[in-house]
Homo-oligomer: A and B are copies of this chain.
Amino acid sequence: MDKTYTIAIDAMGGDNAPEEIVKGALLARDNYKSLQLNLYGDKGRILEIIGQSSQERITVINTTETIEMGDEPVRAVRKKKDSSMVVAANAVKDGQADALFSAGNTGALLASGIFIVGRINGIERPGLLTVLPSVDDAKRPWVFMDVGANAEVKPSYLYQFAVIGDFYATHILKRSKPEIRLLNNGAEEDKGDKIHIAAHQLLKKAKQLNFTGNIESRELLNGHADVVVADGFSGNAALKAIEGTALTMFTGLKKVLSTGNWQTKIGALLVKPALKEFAGVLDYNNAGGAVIAGLKAPVVKTHGSAKARAVSNTIGQIQEILISGLVPDITKYVHEHVDQFKVSVEEK
């Protein structure tokens, strides 16, 4: 922890920017003593939010444009050259920062990652990697990739997501021989479309991976895997269905308990602390952000609606990624096994 890492922060991205982003950065500065945080955005507003707080290990860099949530991603990254996101991404590319944080437009961050920060040589497509909790006894978190970057995939992409996920589970979640599964519409190896059938075979042959077969989305929260590999389309569908169902159920539950008869209302008061703890397991503010994995540096997106605490937690996650040496280790591995990657590509 002696080394100081610098994180480039897009202070203007997200529904609560720049207020919550700046407050989150200040919180992170206090929580993580070896981080230097560079904030990109409207300098006047950012300094106003910082106010009387210390500017220790905080640098503000003025930018004049902002990529909005509704902007067409690729075009926005090309045109808005002085946007907080693009300038921050260029800082990573130029070695002025070690990682990039944003709560802004996901597609634009993906484009900034691919076109500015750049892919690791040998990785065909970066993917969105997120960590979800399991709701079994161990509450053991697990890696889910891709959850939305690639609506269309080839078997080789899925294989590469597995390699990246394996490193993430080893380095960040501290698992040894992480159990890897492929999200599919059945347990048998001939399930799914051509792409998933071929990917299953690629993963089965990869002796360095502890691939234990397909998983159906019904089992995702039950702690059956350390890494779940998915195409970005169905991975996104499964992730959002989980989030939506959990949220809808908590909302419904709250309503049922608050609008019931006196017996229900008294009961609701009594169970409230236990329910709150249970809800915490599925609270995304406790988790970190989604990593655009497969890039030359960590690029991490947190929820657009993130508040200061979620921003700080995500910055902490980025620090962990940097300390663990995740990106250099993946890069080295892919470089040393580039033939294997080529084989996998040809077999698709």
A residues neighboring B (CB under 8 Å)? 135, 148, 151-152, 183, 185, 191-194, 196, 216-222, 232-249, 251-253, 256-257, 260, 263-264, 266-275, 277-278, 281-282
Q: Give complex CA distance A295, B236 in Å.
A: 31
B245 & A237 in contact (Cβ 8 Å cutoff): no
Which chain B positions have C-beta within 8 A of A266?
267, 270
- Min Cβ gap A269→B in Å is 7
A185 & B233 in contact (Cβ 8 Å cutoff): yes
A240 & B218 in contact (Cβ 8 Å cutoff): yes
Which chain B positions have C-beta within 8 A of A253?
253, 275, 278
Q: Give complex CA distance A264, B221 in Å.
A: 24
- Min Cβ gap A51→B in Å is 36
B257 & A274 in contact (Cβ 8 Å cutoff): yes
- Min Cβ gap A306→B in Å is 16
A264 & B268 in contact (Cβ 8 Å cutoff): no
- Min Cβ gap A136→B in Å is 8
Which chain B positions have C-beta within 8 A of A232?
185
Q: Give complex CA distance A342, B220 in Å.
A: 40
- Min Cβ gap A104→B in Å is 16
- A275 to B, closest residue via Cβ: B256
- A245 to B, closest residue via Cβ: B245
5 A-B pairs in the complex with CB atoms less than 8 angstroms apart: A196-B233, A218-B244, A245-B245, A245-B246, A249-B282
A267 & B271 in contact (Cβ 8 Å cutoff): yes
A260 & B274 in contact (Cβ 8 Å cutoff): yes
- Min Cβ gap A263→B in Å is 5
* Cross-chain contact of A269 among B249, B252, B256, B267 (Cβ < 8 A): B267
A273 & B264 in contact (Cβ 8 Å cutoff): yes
Which chain B positions have C-beta within 8 A of A240?
216-218, 238
- Min Cβ gap A135→B in Å is 5
Q: Give complex CA distance A235, B263 in Å.
A: 40
Q: Give complex CA distance A194, B196 in Å.
A: 18
- The answer to whether residues A248 and B222 also contact, given A192-B151, A240-B216, A240-B217 and a CB cut-off of 8 A, is yes
* Cross-chain contact of A244 among B220, B239, B251, B272 (Cβ < 8 A): B220
- Min Cβ gap A190→B in Å is 9
Among A218, A235, A253, A277, chain B packs the most CB atoms within 10 A around the CB of A218
- Min Cβ gap A149→B in Å is 10
Which chain B positions have C-beta within 8 A of A218?
240-241, 243-244, 247
Q: Give complex CA distance A249, B243 in Å.
A: 12
Which chain B positions have C-beta within 8 A of A234?
233-234, 237
Q: Give complex CA distance A152, B235 in Å.
A: 16
Which chain B positions have C-beta within 8 A of A270?
263-264, 266-268, 270
